């Protein structure tokens, strides 16, 4: 007897409505707001659980619209996998912070910095220093974890608000992250838009240079308006406290210098951070032997105590006792273990972002944003808004560049805009707003490394706040908007040639 083949009926996936797609985001915002009100430390687990609960809501919405659990699960795994490089870098930054403290590198930076930086221009100097270092290295994370931590310590000695100092540090660090040819996002944005790296950088300069100049003026003005009491005696007390616990000498700066050279020569970040940690551990054994023995907390041979002391500084951190109240918080590092709450937060954020993307909810929301684009100005504004939304919802800087890059590419082409207009829009919002979101990989990392809550530094991170608006203003005013010439011979400019008349 012939049997008819049995066909399992697969129900087609339905397109979610906009309100349904926004439901998980609304739930997340409500839970996060409640956490701020009810918990003193929202990163201790409350925000992580909020992200996971919102992810559960997103999964239910997706399954209601016939998205299979297998697809949702694959999306979660894929997004967590994409965040693994950031998680590993975060752990290595923890170990770097521990060995740089134990070796005396960070204390030496504070010691010498107090000798040369005038309090009135400290904020401007911090901005400029971080700008130069991040331009040279292409890494905002390395800049903040090294020179940024030292500058924050100096700011504390001068009595400055930590959020204000962190804002100056991050503004400079993310200028380099946006403009350096060594930065991964600076390479990613033109690749997604379809232009070359240096065309992208030169075109970004039209909006980015005015933004950093405005930022410099703001921090310079803040420095001038602050009334600093005579802190000379307090600075001397801090320097004496440092020299009482550490051997301070310029030779300690050899490790930061070598690390910067490695990053400039495009050595992978994990390798450069591992080198910085191990080399600093060696410096600690050579120049801070008594302190290493104290951290080890055991009796035995020099080899045994050196190994235990350096290892402890890398994986569990250290807290060095001091009589100086200004140094008490600065001589404390959590090592790799201190980063685990942030790792937990990043993984939870990736779960939420993975479910939202796999269920098609992100695409539905961003498609609605795209539908608002009617002119060049509204198209750039829609791109900036989408990048910011993805930094909030997907919690990842790279997704906020890649996904809008794919989505908006044809829209820019239809309006006759050159690809560098898109690449500039992607970096102008995707790169710089990531650090403003507490549960984004960038915001969570920088907050943990500096020990300053994201919402505390957010109002002062002027470069990151101004950048998206500068791109939008240029687009609406039709300033330096490059268009494709229909014949393909030359660029059609929106600006009249020098000496020519509009008539």
pLDDT tens by residue, 149-162: 888 988 888 888 99
Strand partners, 492: 483
From CA 196, how far away is CA 179, in angstroms rounded? Answer: 14
Rounded alpha-carbon distances, angstroms, from residue 170 to 139, 317, 339, 356, 485: 11, 24, 19, 29, 39
* Positive or negative: CA dihedral 285, 287, 289, 290: negative
Selected residue with higher pLDDT from 366 and 447: 447
What average pLDDT does the segment 45-63 reach? 91
Other CB atoms within 10 Å distance of the CB of residue 81: 11
Decide if pLDDT at 1 tops 50. Answer: no
Torsions phi, psi for 103 (to 5 deg): -80, -15
With 0-12 / 13-18 / 19 or more C-beta atoms within 10 angstroms meaning exposed / middle / buried, residue 146 is buried
DSSP state of 5: P
Decide if pLDDT at 287 tops 70. Answer: yes
Decide if pLDDT at 472 tops 90. Answer: yes
Which segments within 169-271 are labelled E, that is strand?
none
Decide if pLDDT at 80 tops 80. Answer: yes
DSSP state of 417: B
Q: Dump pLDDT digits (tens) for 82-99.
A: 778 878 887 888 888 889
Selected residue with higher pLDDT from 415 and 211: 211
From CA 369, how far away is CA 118, in angstroms rounded? Answer: 47
Decide if pLDDT at 8 tops 60. Answer: no
From CA 313, how far away is CA 296, in angstroms rounded? Answer: 9
Pick from 6-15, 41-50, 167-176 the range whose average pLDDT is largest.
167-176
Q: What average pLDDT does the structure give for the chain?
A: 85
Torsions phi, psi for 74 (to 5 deg): -65, -40
Q: Dump pLDDT digits (tens) for 24-37.
A: 989 988 988 888 78
Decide if pLDDT at 214 tops 80. Answer: yes
The DSSP result for 415-452, as a single string, is TTB-HHHHHHHHIIIIITSGGGSTTSHHHHHHHHHHT-
What average pLDDT does the segment 399-417 reach? 84
From CA 303, how far away is CA 390, in angstroms rounded? Answer: 50
Confidence of residue 229 (pLDDT cuts 50, 70, 90): low
Provide the residue count of the chain.
503
Decide if pLDDT at 42 tops 50. Answer: yes
Decide if pLDDT at 494 tops 50. Answer: no
* pTM given for the model: 0.76
- Asked if residue 189 lies in contact with residue 144, where contact means CB atoms within 8 angstroms, the answer is no
**Domain extents in the chain:** 43-84+340-486, 89-337
Percent of the chain with pLDDT over 90: 37
Q: Dump pLDDT digits (tens) for 98-136.
A: 898 899 988 888 888 877 777 888 999 999 989 988 887
Torsions phi, psi for 142 (to 5 deg): -65, -40
From CA 153, how far away is CA 140, in angstroms rounded? Answer: 18
Percent of the chain with pLDDT over 70: 91
Confidence of residue 228 (pLDDT cuts 50, 70, 90): low
Rounded alpha-carbon distances, angstroms, from residue 270 to 182, 187, 206, 459: 15, 19, 33, 31
From CA 189, how far away is CA 171, in angstroms rounded? Answer: 20
End-to-end CA distance of the chain: 88
| The pLDDT value given to residue 490 | 42
DSSP state of 482: E
Decide if pLDDT at 9 tops 70. Answer: no
Decide if pLDDT at 248 tops 50. Answer: yes
Least confident interval from 29-33, 210-214, 403-407? 403-407
Residue 122, classed as helix, strand or coil, is helix
- Asked if residue 143 lies in contact with residue 367, where contact means CB atoms within 8 angstroms, the answer is no
CA dihedral 141, 146, 147, 151 (to 10 degrees): 100
From CA 261, how far away is CA 278, in angstroms rounded? Answer: 16
| The pLDDT value given to residue 492 | 46
- Asked if residue 287 lies in contact with residue 252, where contact means CB atoms within 8 angstroms, the answer is yes
Torsions phi, psi for 493 (to 5 deg): -95, 145
Which segments within 291-358 are labelled E, that is strand?
318-319, 332-333
| The pLDDT value given to residue 498 | 38
Task: Kindly report the three-state secondary structure assignment for every residue of 279-293.
Answer: HHHHHHHHHCHHHHH
């Amino acid at each position: 007897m012939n049997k008819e083949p049995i066909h399992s009926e697969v129900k087609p996936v339905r397109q979610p409505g906009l309100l349904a797609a926004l439901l998980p985001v609304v739930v997340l915002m409500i839970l996060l707001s409640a956490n701020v009100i009810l918990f003193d430390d929202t990163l201790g687990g409350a925000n992580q659980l909020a992200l996971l609960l919102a992810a559960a809501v997103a999964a239910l919405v997706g399954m209601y619209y016939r998205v299979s659990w297998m697809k949702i699960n694959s999306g979660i795994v894929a997004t967590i996998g994409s965040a693994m490089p950031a998680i590993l870098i975060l752990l290595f930054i923890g170990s770097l912070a521990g060995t740089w403290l134990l070796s005396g590198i960070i204390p030496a930076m504070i010691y010498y910095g107090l000798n040369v930086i005038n309090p009135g221009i400290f904020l401007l100097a911090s901005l400029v220093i971080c700008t130069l270092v991040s331009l040279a290295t292409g890494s905002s994370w390395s800049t903040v974890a090294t020179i940024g931590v030292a500058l924050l310590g100096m700011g504390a000695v001068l009595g400055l608000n930590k959020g204000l100092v962190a804002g100056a540090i991050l503004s400079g660090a993310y200028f380099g992250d946006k403009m350096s040819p060594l930065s991964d996002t600076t390479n990613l944005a033109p690749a997604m838009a379809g232009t070359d790296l240096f065309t992208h950088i030169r075109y970004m300069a039209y909006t980015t240079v005015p933004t950093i100049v405005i930022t410099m003026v703001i921090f310079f003005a803040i420095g001038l308006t602050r009334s600093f009491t005579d802190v000379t005696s307090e600075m001397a007390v801090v320097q004496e406290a440092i020299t009482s616990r550490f051997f301070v000498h310029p030779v300690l700066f050899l490790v930061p210098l070598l690390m910067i050279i490695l990053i400039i020569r495009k050595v992978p970040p994990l390798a450069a951070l591992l080198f910085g940690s191990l080399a600093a551990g060696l410096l600690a054994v050579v120049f801070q032997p008594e302190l290493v023995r104290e951290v080890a907390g055991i009796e035995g041979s020099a080899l045994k105590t050196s190994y235990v002391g350096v290892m402890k500084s890398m994986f569990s951190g250290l807290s060095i006792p001091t009589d100086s109240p200004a140094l008490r918080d600065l001589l404390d590092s959590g090592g790799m273990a201190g980063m685990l709450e942030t790792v937990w937060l990043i993984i939870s954020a990736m779960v939420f972002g993975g479910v939202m993307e796999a269920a098609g909810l992100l695409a539905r929301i961003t498609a609605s944003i795209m539908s608002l684009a009617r002119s060049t100005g509204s198209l750039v504004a829609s791109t900036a808004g989408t990048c910011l939304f993805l930094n909030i919802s997907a919690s990842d800087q790279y997704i906020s560049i890649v996904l809008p890059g794919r989505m908006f590419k044809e829209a820019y082409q239809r309006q006759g805009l050159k690809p560098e207009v898109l690449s500039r829009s992607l970096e102008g919002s995707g790169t710089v707003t990531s650090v403003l979101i507490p549960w984004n990989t960038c915001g969570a990392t920088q907050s943990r490394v500096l020990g300053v809550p994201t919402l505390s530094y957010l109002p002062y991170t002027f470069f990151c706040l101004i950048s998206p608006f500068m791109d939008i203003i240029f687009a609406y005013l039709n300033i330096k908007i490059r268009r494709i010439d229909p014949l393909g011979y030359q660029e059609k400019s929106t600006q009249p040639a020098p000496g020519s008349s509009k008539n």
